[in-house]
């Protein structure tokens, strides 16, 4: 098994549960992948902001299996949007009424069409049309230009106008099924003590069932040999009858490309994704009253401000205010690899623009993280490119974020698809 993120560990749990010996190789020093944590104020905190929605029922089910369902706290969250040089409440009916950039007719079209989208069950009408086109036609150009367009631009950069409507439809569809709304906005779920509690419990269960998890040792190459495989890692090599790669597509290609057929390689080569950089500021002041602040302004150097301690009490982090500065950047953007200080120099004036009282002296510590592969980009016709879990080489399997469709990636789906990967392998082994 390659990758000790949630998908890889979940597959390992199901396979060891059936008595199969599994070895998980992980590049990072620890488990959890994109959901891994650092310690802040003596408390673990995700390096990339995380919460779950009430529609994430597989996550909740799985947490229950590990004895942790009761540890998910469902707390109110306040959402805002920065546009036209000021902050606006966003995400509740009352806030929409007060939202200045849209006129009454635009607001009505926005509400009616969003309600219809949330009731639509069939993805087909949304799969081959860009969201920019669909929104302009059904909600009006103002809604695209002032709301969705800038948000898509922050997330998908030059692909913003091409992203398929199916991606937005499914997000709205699932949010419409979010059951716990309050006057203070949607209730979101957070694991008391961080989501790492689930990852750690999962890793421990895999080991109890006989699995081996080897961290800090990346797989460098997978080779066919003697009816099975030789898995080369930086530290050595191992024999395996079957290999499941539970990692992003570029990592899969790097270690397994010679095992794949040309048609398979060319389809995988068409899949696109953005990377992400995320800066965490520990501060002695709060920046805004919001947990989640969308930045719908192309002149701003980041796409979102997530003030974790406007959602989770800051007392848990030694009284610190914790702010994530989120920025999705394409793989060819030099900012993806820029050092922390360069990124902070770019960000700090923009933070002052949002809150004129902000002072760099508020920052008591900062951390900077990068994910080369953070978010698949779903373009029209995406369904036809989704790689199957069984590779063309018998015995080689893939479980990756790019397979998640029409839903967007998330911990819930990493677990679900990890289970599906294990089911596929068990079926091939003659088990059901
Ligand atoms: C900015 C950001 C915010 C997010 N917010 C949320 C949120 O609020 N809620 C939510 O549910 N989800 C969120 N997610 C998504 C969530 O973190 C992921 O969907 C989930 O963790 C993916 O799990 P995975 O196992 O599929 O992949 P990954 O976590 O990417 O795991 C793959 C693993 O494979 C390892 N690997 C790769 N190549 C090799 C190799 N050659 N050898 C050994 N190991 C290798 C990697 O190191 C990694 O640990 C967010 C993600 C990002 C980037």
- What is the pTM for the complete model shown? 0.96
Cβ(402) to ligand 1 under 6 A?
A: no
Atom of ligand 1 nearest to the CA of 371: 53
Residue 114 has pLDDT above 80, yes or no: yes
pLDDT at 179: 54
Residue 185 has pLDDT above 80, yes or no: no
pLDDT at 97: 87
Atom of ligand 1 nearest to the CA of 248: 30
Pick the CATH number of 6-50+195-271+387-428 from 3.50.50.60, 1.10.340.70, 3.30.1540.20, 3.40.50.1820: 3.50.50.60
The rounded Å distance from CA 409 to ligand 1 centre is 9
Task: Tell which one of 32, 45, 247 to mutate to probe ligand 1, the residue whose CB is within 8 A of the most ligand atoms.
Answer: 247
Cβ(50) to ligand 1 under 6 A?
A: yes
Residue 365 CA to residue 363 CA, distance in Å, equals 6
pLDDT tens-place string over residues 158-174: 999 999 999 999 999 88
Q: What are the DSSP calls for 356-411, one per residue? A: TT--GGGEEEEEEEEEEEEEEE--TTGGGGPPPSB-SSTTEEE--GGG--SSPP-H
Cβ(416) to ligand 1 under 6 A?
A: no
Cβ(51) to ligand 1 under 6 A?
A: yes
Residue range 138-157: mean pLDDT, rounded? 93
Residue 183 has pLDDT above 80, yes or no: no
Cβ(13) to ligand 1 under 6 A?
A: no
pLDDT at 432: 66
Cβ(369) to ligand 1 under 6 A?
A: no
The rounded Å distance from CA 48 to ligand 1 centre is 10
Average the pLDDT over each of 185-189, 204-208, 295-299, 369-373 and give the range with the smallest value.
185-189
Residue 209 has pLDDT above 90, yes or no: yes
pLDDT at 215: 98
What's the CA dihedral at 421, 425, 428, 432 to 10 degrees?
-80
Residue range 46-58: mean pLDDT, rounded? 96
The residue whose two tokens read 């302004």 is: 297
Cβ(282) to ligand 1 under 6 A?
A: no
The residue whose two tokens read 């689930």 is: 198
Provide the percentage of residues in the chain whose pLDDT is more than 70. 98
Asked if residue 196 has a cis previous peptide bond (ω within 30° of 0), the answer is no
Nearest CA residue ID for atom 15, ligand 1: 410
Residue 117 has pLDDT above 80, yes or no: yes
Length of the chain: 432
Residue 281 has pLDDT above 70, yes or no: yes
Cβ(255) to ligand 1 under 6 A?
A: yes
pLDDT tens-place string over residues 33-51: 999 999 998 899 999 999 9
Cβ(303) to ligand 1 under 6 A?
A: no
pLDDT tens-place string over residues 242-252: 999 999 999 99
pLDDT band at 391 (very low <50, low <70, confident <90, very high): very high
pLDDT at 180: 52
pLDDT tens-place string over residues 285-315: 999 999 999 999 989 999 999 999 999 999 9
Give which of 219, 198, 199, 201 is closest to 28, Cα–Cα: 219
Q: What are the DSSP calls for 150-196, one per residue? A: HHHHHHHGGGTTTSBHHHHHHHHHHHHT---EETTEEEEEEETT-TH
The rounded Å distance from CA 275 to ligand 1 centre is 11
Residue range 397-405: mean pLDDT, rounded? 98
What's the CA dihedral at 339, 343, 346, 349 to 10 degrees?
-130
The rounded Å distance from CA 149 to ligand 1 centre is 26
pLDDT at 32: 98
Domain boundaries, the chain: 6-50+195-271+387-428
Cβ(1) to ligand 1 under 6 A?
A: no
pLDDT at 202: 98
Residue range 328-333: mean pLDDT, rounded? 97
Nearest CA residue ID for atom 16, ligand 1: 410
The rounded Å distance from CA 40 to ligand 1 centre is 20
Residue 134 CA to residue 172 CA, distance in Å, equals 14
Extract long-range pairs of 238-242: CB within 8 Å, 24+ residues apart: 238/23, 238/25, 240/23, 241/395, 242/395, 242/396, 242/397, 242/425
The rounded Å distance from CA 126 to ligand 1 centre is 27
Residue 376 CA to residue 409 CA, distance in Å, equals 8
Instruction: Report the mean per-residue pLDDT for the chain.
Output: 95
Atom of ligand 1 nearest to the CA of 255: 41
pLDDT tens-place string over residues 377-390: 999 999 999 999 99
Cβ(28) to ligand 1 under 6 A?
A: yes
The rounded Å distance from CA 375 to ligand 1 centre is 10
pLDDT tens-place string over residues 13-32: 999 999 999 999 999 999 99
């Amino acid at each position: 098994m390659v990758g000790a993120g949630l998908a890889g560990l979940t597959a390992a749990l199901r396979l060891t549960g059936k008595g199969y010996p599994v070895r998980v190789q992980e590049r990072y020093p620890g488990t959890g992948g994109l959901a891994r944590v650092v310690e802040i104020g003596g408390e673990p905190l995700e390096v990339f902001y995380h919460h779950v929605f009430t529609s994430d029922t597989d996550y909740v089910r799985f947490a229950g299996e590990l004895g942790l369902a009761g540890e998910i706290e469902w707390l109110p969250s306040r959402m805002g949007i920065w546009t036209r040089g000021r902050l606006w409440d966003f995400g509740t009916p009352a806030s929409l009424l007060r939202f200045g950039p849209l006129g009454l007719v635009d607001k009505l079209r926005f509400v009616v069409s969003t309600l219809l989208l949330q009731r639509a069950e069939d993805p087909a009408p949304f799969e081959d049309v860009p969201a920019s086109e669909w929104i302009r036609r059904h909600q009006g150009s103002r809604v695209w230009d002032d709301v969705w367009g800038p948000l898509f631009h922050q997330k998908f950069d030059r692909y913003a106008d091409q992203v398929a409507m199916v991606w937005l439809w499914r997000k709205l569809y699932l949010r419409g099924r979010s059951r716990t709304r309050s006057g203070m906005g949607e209730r979101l779920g957070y694991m008391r003590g961080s989501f790492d509690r689930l990852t750690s419990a999962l890793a421990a269960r895999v080991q109890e069932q006989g699995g081996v998890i080897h961290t800090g040792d990346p797989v460098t190459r997978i080779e066919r040999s003697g009816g099975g495989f030789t898995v080369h890692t930086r530290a050595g090599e191992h024999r395996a009858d079957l290999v499941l790669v539970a990692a992003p597509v570029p990592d899969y290609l790097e270690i397994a490309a010679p095992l794949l057929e040309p048609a398979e390689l060319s389809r995988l080569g068409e899949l696109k994704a953005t990377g992400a950089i995320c800066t965490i500021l520990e501060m002695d002041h709060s920046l805004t009253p919001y947990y989640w602040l969308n930045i719908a302004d192309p002149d701003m150097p980041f796409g979102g401000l997530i003030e974790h301690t406007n959602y989770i009490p800051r007392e848990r982090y030694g009284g610190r205010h914790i702010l994530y500065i989120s920025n999705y950047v394409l793989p060819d953007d030099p900012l993806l690899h820029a050092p922390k200080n360069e990124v902070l120099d770019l960000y700090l004036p923009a933070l002052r623009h949002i809150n004129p009282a902000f002072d760099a002296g508020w920052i008591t510590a900062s951390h900077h993280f990068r994910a080369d592969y953070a978010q698949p980009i779903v373009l029209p016709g995406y369904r036809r490119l989704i790689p199957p879990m069984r590779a063309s080489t018998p015995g080689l399997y893939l479980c990756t974020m790019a397979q998640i469709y029409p839903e967007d990636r998330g911990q819930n789906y990493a677990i679900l698809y990890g289970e599906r990967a294990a089911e596929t392998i068990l079926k091939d082994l003659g088990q059901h």
